[in-house]
Structure 1
Amino acid sequence: MDEGVERWLLIQENLGRARNTVLAYRHAFADYLSFCRQRQIAVCDATREHLSLYVRSMTDRPKQAHASVALETSPSGLANATIRQRLTAVRLYYDYLIEEGVRSHNPVGRGRYTATARTAMWGPASHALLPSYSFLPWIPDEDEWHHILTIAATNSPRNRLMLALAYDAGLRREELCSIATGDLDPARRLVHVRAETTKGRRARLVPYSVPTGMLLEAYLHERRKLTRDRGALFISQSRRNRGVPITVWTWSKVVQVLARHADLPRLATHTFRHLCLTDLARAGWELHEIAEFAGHRNTSTTLLYIHLSGRDLSAKLARATCAHGRRMIEIGACLGAAQ
């Protein structure tokens, strides 16, 4: 890794950035530096043209091994979100170089929306280096969900509990893997999600159900065979790392294997959280309640997680008894009689 990049990554770590965030930055820069070396581009002297070539290289490269990171609308190339994540890391690094006086401008830049009618007043419009696309989150239907559970039932008590908690409490991958034994309140069936493990640095208490409590009891019995020490709830069962706290990558591999056996390549660790929040919306929870449960600062973020299908919306419409329903009866009566 480039010395300047290493220094910048150390600064991010010292500033308290989440461990996964720093790892994502490091991974992004490993890819960017590899591109620069292949094209013989000096990182500090890169231009917007060079960045456009980097974007092209990411959109044209062969599809990744796992379908969960492949662009849904394209036969090849990285996902739009992955490309934007890597460009964000590169942009932040060039911001740092500007602050240090190494560069005068950022080749990545920032997109700004300028209305056409106001262009003359506010200057020319500036577009982001890469357009952003928002895809509906994939969640399994009922048959797919039961198929997932049938296959997961053959897993270890630890993996079964992790799946149950991921859905039941709507936990992110980092939050799930970071649960400590002291974070559990079995008497009230609550999990304390510590602020330092969350994406938004906001602590919260989330409940879990009776079935999850039974799975927890079964897992704790198995855990005592590995260690009686307090600390991380989920620990490794392998011979090499026996009793060591698992990493987020361990959980990701578990879900990847589950997805492969279920023949559901779009299944990912975040799917359980998406499904949980969607089910809460289906159950009639208010948006602000779901946001509080999920740990979102803004309800607009919550909306990205909720996937109400056309069938859900049709059912809501069928239950409508307000003016909309009355008018539709009138439309049906009038237009039907006119035929």
Structure 2
Amino acid sequence: MPPAEQSAPGDAAEPLPPRLAELLDSYTDHLRLERGRSEHTVRAYLGDVRSLLTHVAAADPDVRLEDIDLATLRAWLAAQSAAGVARTTLARRTASARTFTAWLTRTRRIPRDPGVRLAAPKTHRTLPAVLRQGQAEEAMRAAESGAAQLDPVAVRDRLVVELLYASGIRVGELCGLDLDDVDRERRVVRVVGKGDKQRSVPFGAPAAEALDAWLDVGRPALATPKSGRALLLGKRGGRLDQRQARTVVHEVLDAVPGAPSLGPHGLRHSAATHLLEGGADLRVVQELLGHNSLATTQLYTHVSVARLRAVHDQAHPRA
């Protein structure tokens, strides 16, 4: 299990000077109203920018925006790195800072954009952990066995893992599904992915069976007036949230001997890898996963090759 990432200077929710707090509020409105960013993206961007502004204010509470230069941005990132912040997080914070300074320049709050020349640290891209196909089958059987007594929560949990693995959709896309987004006859779900892009994703017969059980037995038992059109529900009838879905996946996979500890994204990685191992075209997998770039999908070909190499090294007498 990797060590927990340390908190960096400026990460704490320290109060900002009023003028910087007002600036952050304006930037929040920009991200939500003008850029149409998701709540998840807005939270990440605001956390990064708050960290930057806290760093700046700690050095000089009366600092002017136009005094924030390239050296200031680099010093902020250096402090983060020294505190043990991961390279992937530093790369995201670099992108957040560049987006923020570009906005400051565009809105004439500063005369020049210091973020143009801010370089992101190179990330060490690691291959994601995935289930073996046999482990995935065991996980689905464990979820099906748990739902056999028709407990509504267990029936829901089965659908959660079946649909995540069958379709490869993101956990946010799963939790955002409404009843109208599911075409039971054609076995297709319509999801809204990153950038509010819609796509239709097919699912197989086992997931369809789990869906039928949920709609016929599970959902009616949990539904309340506040359920609305949400497909998946929590125990109190509200829309299932992402944290609950992650807990479901972890608990199901804990029942599979030898399986890595994965969350919903691990099932997405596994689905993509197994599709490619089964001969699916890379561009088809790209479309199913909702990737903007084919390069992102190509990561899964490396996963397959890495697994092939591991088997070869273990099994071949002259490996």
Say whether residues 1:310 and 2:306 are aligned partners: yes
* Cα drift, residue 110 of structure 1: 4.2
Letter aligned with residue 159 of structure 2: L
TM-score by length of 2: 0.74
* Cα drift, residue 180 of structure 1: 0.5
What residue number does 2:69 align with?
47
Farther off after superposition, 307-316 or 215-224:
307-316
Find the partner of 1:274 among 269, 274, 277: 269
* Cα drift, residue 149 of structure 1: 5.2
Say whether residues 1:79 and 2:74 are aligned partners: no
What residue number does 1:134 align with?
125
Counterpart Cα distance in 2 of 1:23 and 1:99: 22
What residue number does 1:321 align with?
none
Say whether residues 1:247 and 2:269 are aligned partners: no
Letter aligned with residue 46 of structure 2: R
Counterpart Cα distance in 2 of 1:250 and 1:96: 36
Give 3-state SS (helix, strand or coil) of 2:201's partner. Answer: strand
Query: Residue 181 of structure 1 contacts residue 230 of structure 1 at CA under 8 Å; is this kept in 2?
Result: no
**CA-to-partner distance for each residue in 1:178-236, whole Å, 9 max, x for gaps?**
1100111112211122xxx2114432221111111221122222211222665111122
Provide closer, same or farther for how the CA distance between residues 280 and 110 of structure 1 changes in structure 2, counting only shifts above 3 A: farther
**CA-to-partner distance for each residue in 1:138-160, whole Å, 9 max, x for gaps?**
21335764675577565732232
**CA-to-partner distance for each residue in 1:88-133, whole Å, 9 max, x for gaps?**
222211111111222233333346xxxxxxxxxxxxxxxx142233
Say whether residues 1:287 and 2:287 are aligned partners: no
* Cα drift, residue 21 of structure 1: 1.6
Find the partner of 2:203 among 202, 205, 208: 208
What is the CA RMSD across the aligned residues, in angstroms? 3.2
Provide closer, same or farther for how the CA distance between residues 138 and 58 of structure 1 changes in structure 2, counting only shifts above 3 A: farther
**Runs of 5+ consecutive residues of structure 2 not aligned to the other structure:** 1-15, 147-152, 313-319
**Runs of 5+ consecutive residues of structure 1 not aligned to the other structure:** 62-76, 112-127, 317-339
Counterpart Cα distance in 2 of 1:11 and 1:187: 41
Counterpart Cα distance in 1 of 2:157 and 2:276: 27
Counterpart Cα distance in 2 of 1:31 and 1:253: 29
Provide closer, same or farther for how the CA distance between residues 165 and 236 of structure 1 changes in structure 2, counting only shifts above 3 A: same
Letter aligned with residue 288 of structure 2: F
Find the partner of 1:90 among 84, 97, 108: 97
**CA-to-partner distance for each residue in 1:276-319, whole Å, 9 max, x for gaps?**
11111111111122122222333222113442133436999xxx
Provide closer, same or farther for how the CA distance between residues 10 and 266 of structure 1 changes in structure 2, counting only shifts above 3 A: farther
Counterpart Cα distance in 2 of 1:305 and 1:250: 27
Provide closer, same or farther for how the CA distance between residues 310 and 13 of structure 1 changes in structure 2, counting only shifts above 3 A: closer
* Cα drift, residue 14 of structure 1: 0.9
Say whether residues 1:23 and 2:21 are aligned partners: no
Counterpart Cα distance in 1 of 2:164 and 2:109: 45
Provide closer, same or farther for how the CA distance between residues 98 and 264 of structure 1 changes in structure 2, counting only shifts above 3 A: farther
Give 3-state SS (helix, strand or coil) of 1:108's partner. Answer: helix
Counterpart Cα distance in 2 of 1:216 and 1:37: 53
Counterpart Cα distance in 2 of 1:83 and 1:218: 44
Counterpart Cα distance in 2 of 1:83 and 1:217: 44
Query: Residue 200 of structure 1 contacts residue 297 of structure 1 at CA under 8 Å; is this kept in 2?
Result: no
Provide closer, same or farther for how the CA distance between residues 95 and 260 of structure 1 changes in structure 2, counting only shifts above 3 A: farther
* Cα drift, residue 272 of structure 1: 1.2
Give 3-state SS (helix, strand or coil) of 1:277's partner. Answer: helix
* Cα drift, residue 82 of structure 1: 1.9
Counterpart Cα distance in 1 of 2:248 and 2:76: 32
Counterpart Cα distance in 2 of 1:5 and 1:148: 45
Q: What pairs up with 1:171-182 in 2 under 5 angstroms?
A: 171-182=169-180
Provide closer, same or farther for how the CA distance between residues 175 and 60 of structure 1 changes in structure 2, counting only shifts above 3 A: same
Counterpart Cα distance in 2 of 1:198 and 1:144: 28
Letter aligned with residue 215 of structure 1: A
Counterpart Cα distance in 1 of 2:77 and 2:255: 34
Letter aligned with residue 51 of structure 2: D
> Could you say which structure has the greater relative contact order, defined with CA pairs below 8 angstroms and 6 or more residues apart?
2
Farther off after superposition, 52-61 or 31-40:
31-40
